[in-house]
Amino acid sequence: MKRILVLLCVFISCSVWADAKDLLKERLAKVDSFYAQFKQTVTTADQQLIQEGQGELWVKRPNLFNWQINEPDETSIISDGLDFWMYTPAVEQLTIMSFKQATDNRLLMLITDSNSPVWQDYRVERKQNQFTLLPTDNSQKSYMISVLPTGMIADFAIIEEDGQKSVYELSHQTLGPIDNQRFRFIAPPGTTIDDQRNN
C-alpha cells in the first residue's frame, strides 16, 4: 500500500510539473513578437543590492532576440536564430557563437521557442502567473518568469547557484511585427572579433 501511495505521489508531482511546463509554453506561444523596455535589479542571496540597470528588448519567435543593456555598462546581445553576437562598445569587443553554443542565454532560448530541446532540461513549477524553471541537468542557473494568460511577459529573473538574482521588470511593451534587420549585427570598424563558431 505504501509503495502504491509513493508511486501515486510521484505521478501526481510529475503531472503537475508537466502541466505547468505545457501551460508556460502555450502562453509564450501566444505572442509572436514584442518590444519592451526593462529595469534590471541584481541582488545577493540575502537581498543586498549589487547593481541596477536598464535597457530594451526585442523578441521574435522562433529564436530571434535583441537585448540591449544601456546601463550600467552598454552591451548588445543579438541572435538571428543561427548566429549569436555579444558586443561591448566600451572595449570594442565582439564575441560570435553559433546559437546552440550560447548556453549562458538559455532563458531567451526558452522564451523564443516553445519547441526548443532546452525545455527538456527543466522542470517547471507554477504559482498563479509565476513560473519557476529548475534545471534537471548540470546547469547552475534557474529562472523565474511571470507570464499573463494573454502571453505578455511581466518580468523574469535569472538565479545563480549562489543565490544571486538578476530581475528584469518589463514595461512599455508593444506587440507587432519586427524587421529581421533588428536581429542582425554588423561590427563597427576597429572591433576586436572573437569568432567561436564551429566552422
Q: Give domain limits for the chain.
A: 2-195
| CATH match of 2-195 with 1.10.3720.10 | no
Q: Convert the pLDDT of each residue in 113-147 to its tens digit.
A: 988 888 999 999 999 999 999 999 888 899 999 99
Q: What is the 3-state secondary structure (H, E, C) of 71-138?
A: ECCCEEEEEECCEEEEEEHHHCEEEEEEHHHCHHHHHHHHHHCCCCHHHHHEEEEEECCEEEEEECCC
Show the cell assigned to 116: 526548443
Q: Which helix (H) or strand (E) holds 157?
A: strand 153-159
Q: Convert the pLDDT of each residue in 28-84 to its tens digit.
A: 999 999 999 999 999 999 999 999 999 999 999 999 999 999 988 899 999 999 999
- Cβ burial of 38 (10 Å; 0-12, 13-18, 19+) is buried
